[in-house]
Amino acid sequence: MSTHGIPKLTISSPTELSIDRGGQRFAIHPIWLRERCQDPASIDLATGQRLHDPSGLDLDLRLVALSEPAPGRLHVRFSDGHEADFDCGAILAEAALAPGDHDCPAPQLWTSQLGDPPRARWRGNPGNPDLADWTERFLRLGFILFSGVPPEPRQVLKVASTFGFTRDTNFGAMFDVRSTPNAIDLAYTSIPLDPHTDNPYRSPVPGVQLLHCLVNETSGGLSTLVDGFAVAEALRMRDPAAFEILSRTPVRFRYRDASTELVASAPPIELDVAGRLRTIHFSPRLDFVPLLPPADLSAYYRARREFDRLLCAPEFEIRFLLARGDLVMFDNCRLLHGRTGFDPARGMRHLQGCYIDIDGPRSLYRVLRRKHTAPARISA
Ligand code: OGA
Ligand code: ZN
């Protein structure tokens, strides 16, 4: 979880509750507190959902009285006459989140120094400790590599359903990645694939991709992964102008076949409201920058080349053989993936893939974490 440091609550006056966070102290807004009331008049106890419209609260709402009836509990009387008890731990946990935070492990950016990717042994009926370990690893590194997934058709859907709901697309719930004549996508040939994110032409982009190897007996066909966030941060440091251009130029991505035509626009480096990396949209096979004045396009093309150069640099890439029974699951908004070319005449290579949304693994992580939440105290 990315935080502003461990915050602290203080009753700073009979009518003011303050928080210390990241070296800063400020009063908690009465409405912020009031809309978090957990009593049966405020929320439906079964769902936890609010029963009233908080936009109707008095904009001049004040705290009238504050007390600590028990350690870690807070009792508040508001100027609209409402009274409520709060769990200080819950207030502090929420206050610790930065704007736009997912309340999940912060990404641990990596480069080629990660080396041989760590593997997890797949189990068909995983217990909670396995699931907690796998989701945490996945959320930190942006990928997890399993061995021991039965090399049978459709097993990728079983693994996917452990972490979330399958995102069906025009390629189906599941797709076969193997070299075929008249391929509808270059992934279904034997040519090398440079680092790319999948389906940038879709809105929303599929959050997570899974690729499961049924057969890999050819020579070549190695899998590659790059941490797009690590590369983008390197670009931000080394070439801020290029970073800036790529984060504010929306690029159009397009996919077309006989029955489908998909178009979506996004900057190659998409930032969140706090300026942190949100999604990388990068696919050299599919990107079309809008027509801009020549000076702007020259700057854009220079920036794209620089980003591409780093994305393809050995400094950032890991490369490994996805062998029979291996499955890689990666964050398609953060990591770029690719493969080296192979010779289909030298042996078969057959992967099966599917997508899920990123909120599946995030939800699983939060549910598994619930039991470990520590109680919190208030300081007077
Ligand atoms: C894909 C893809 C990589 C591979 O199917 O999207 O990039 O290893 N495949 O064949
Ligand atoms: Zn791909």
pLDDT single digits (tens) 286-295: 999 999 999 9
pLDDT given at position 358: 97
Residue 169 has pLDDT above 60, yes or no: yes
**Distance from Cα 234 to the centre of ligand 2, integer Å:** 23
State mean pLDDT over 187-197: 92
Q: Identify whether the C-beta of residue 72 lies closer than 8 Å to the C-beta of residue 378.
A: yes
pLDDT given at position 1: 39
What torsion do the CA atoms of 339, 341, 344, 350 make, to the nearest 10 degrees? 0
- Relative to the alpha carbon of 197, which ligand is closest? 2
Q: Identify whether the C-beta of residue 322 lies closer than 8 Å to the C-beta of residue 223.
A: yes
pLDDT given at position 344: 86
pLDDT given at position 377: 56
Give the HSE-up count for residue 312: Cα atoms under 13 Å, Cβ half-sphere. 13
> What structural domains and CATH numbers belong to the chain?
8-96 (3.30.2020.30), 112-366 (3.60.130.10)
Q: Whose CA is nearest to atom 1 of ligand 1?
A: 187
Residue 25 has pLDDT above 60, yes or no: yes
To test the ligand 1 pocket, which listed residue (143, 176, 177, 205) has its Cβ within 8 A of the most ligand atoms? 177
**Distance from Cα 338 to the centre of ligand 1, integer Å:** 6
Q: Identify whether the C-beta of residue 304 lies closer than 8 Å to the C-beta of residue 268.
A: yes
pLDDT given at position 154: 98
Residue for token pair 């990123």: 358
Indicate yes or no: pTM above 0.75: yes
State mean pLDDT over 8-21: 94
State mean pLDDT over 64-81: 96
Residue 197's identity, in one-letter code, is: T
To test the ligand 1 pocket, which listed residue (283, 286, 339) has its Cβ within 8 A of the most ligand atoms? 339
Ligand 1 lining (C-beta closer than 6 Å): 177, 187, 193, 198, 223, 337, 339, 351, 353
Which of 42-46, 98-102, 146-150 is predicted with the least confidence, judged by mean pLDDT? Answer: 98-102
**Distance from Cα 119 to the centre of ligand 1, integer Å:** 19
What torsion do the CA atoms of 165, 151, 120, 234 make, to the nearest 10 degrees? -70
Residue 137 has pLDDT above 80, yes or no: yes
Tell which atom from ligand 1 comes closest to the C-alpha of 196: 7
Higher local confidence (pLDDT), 22 or 280? 280
